[in-house]
Amino acid sequence: MAVLPFYISNKKNLKIVIVGGGYAGIAALTTIARYQPSAEITLIDPKIDHIKITHLHETFRYPLTDFLIPFTDIEQEFGCRHLPLELPFSESTLLQWERDKTISINNESIPFDYLLIASGALNNNADQGSGDVMGLNAFMKHSGSEILNQFLSKPGTEAPISVIGGGATGIQFLFEIEHFLRYHKYKNKLRLIDSGDQVLKQFPDRFARYVEAAMKNLNIEYYPTTYFRGQQHSQIRLEDKKTSHQFELPSSLTFLFSGKSQGSVLKANAFGQVIVDQQILQHIFVAGDCAYYQSIGSNALTAQSAVRKGKLAARNLLRHSGLLKILEPYLHRDIGYVVSLGPADAIGWLALENNVVTGLAAYTIKEIVEAQYDLLLAGIDTYLL
């Protein structure tokens, strides 16, 4: 068993429930298993697989199964129990759970010493997954290559393909779709529609300049400051943000990537403990995109922040269960971010936002960072505290 600073175990068979099997939940699970392997962990997630969601744009080149890890494998690797169920909750539910230390679900009562909620954020328009408009959820069920090959093999699908959303997810899918169409010699043109006046607005301006130049070189049509209003009969309905003028364009297929919505955000103190009605719930922690930490650490809706919150919440719940109860504040700041632009190009920043890297160097950084998470799933933690 690895040594955790300021943790002197006070109870060997801790009962811990983790709600959510995304990046934060799995980071928490692996951390608890590392420092307290005798803990009894129950993982509640309605899916049957852990999905490495930040890789889904790569399914135009690789099988979807490359980015799915069955929870049965995680059960075997870390000795936990997975329940494929939804667990809705409210503030009153959280207060009751804190008081009773028991969760009732599917006619079963699950006692716990600590509960960690890592249920994530909703993807806007993610429920789209049929017809000629699709969202991110479609790629959790089928690979990008399967979706495009099946759709474009039908007659009457020669019109352009539209991607909605100029954030990181939309841009990564855009360039993978472009590469797929070109590689397989499909004749469909490609366009990007975004409500902002430039792509990747959350990043330095150099990101936008680099990406928009790459789009121009690849003959990708670009409609900035434009709202998506729907699609019907191979026509996409759009609205100019500045003039409110509405118009239509031919579009055989539309992909919506309009970002994340946190929905029910749980506030937490700097140690990851949930706050309800100004009351700190000592035995309920939260991590990931559904968590807003009252600290100077990053609350960005990124996999990087989700993993760091998950690891910190897990360390702190173990410390809270021990003799010293000295908890660690959340101070993590994102140390970089890379947006891939197809199979051999990328743009990102490292250490400082103005330290922009492009091309193969940026792509290599992205591969290294993602390999770090793969090692974590294998039980090897290479993250710095």
Q: Could you tell me the fold of the domain covering 15-121+262-333?
A: FAD/NAD(P)-binding domain (3.50.50)
Give the model confidence (pLDDT) of 315-348 as tens digits: 999 999 999 999 999 999 888 899 999 998 999 9
Angle between helices 144-152 and 168-183 (to 10 degrees): 50
Query: The domain 123-258: what is its CATH number?
Result: 3.50.50.60
For residue 131 the two structure tokens come to: 């017809």
Give the model confidence (pLDDT) of 33-61 as tens digits: 999 999 999 999 999 999 999 999 999 99
User: Sign of the C-alpha dihedral, residues 360, 365, 366, 367?
Assistant: positive
The predicted model scores a pTM of: 0.93
pLDDT at res. 365: 85
Give 274's pLDDT tier (boundaries 50, 70, 90): very high
Domain boundaries, the chain: 15-121+262-333, 123-258, 335-379
CB 44 within 8 A of CB 17: yes
Give the model confidence (pLDDT) of 167-184 as tens digits: 999 999 999 999 999 999
pLDDT at res. 367: 86
* 160-164, 225-229, 331-335, range with the lowest pLDDT: 331-335
pLDDT at res. 126: 46
**What is the C-alpha to C-alpha distance for residues 201 and 207, in angstroms, rounded to an integer?**
8
Q: How many CA atoms lie within 13 A of 49 on its CB side?
A: 12
CB 323 within 8 A of CB 359: no
Is the fold of 15-121+262-333 the same as that of 123-258? Answer: yes
Give 127's pLDDT tier (boundaries 50, 70, 90): very low
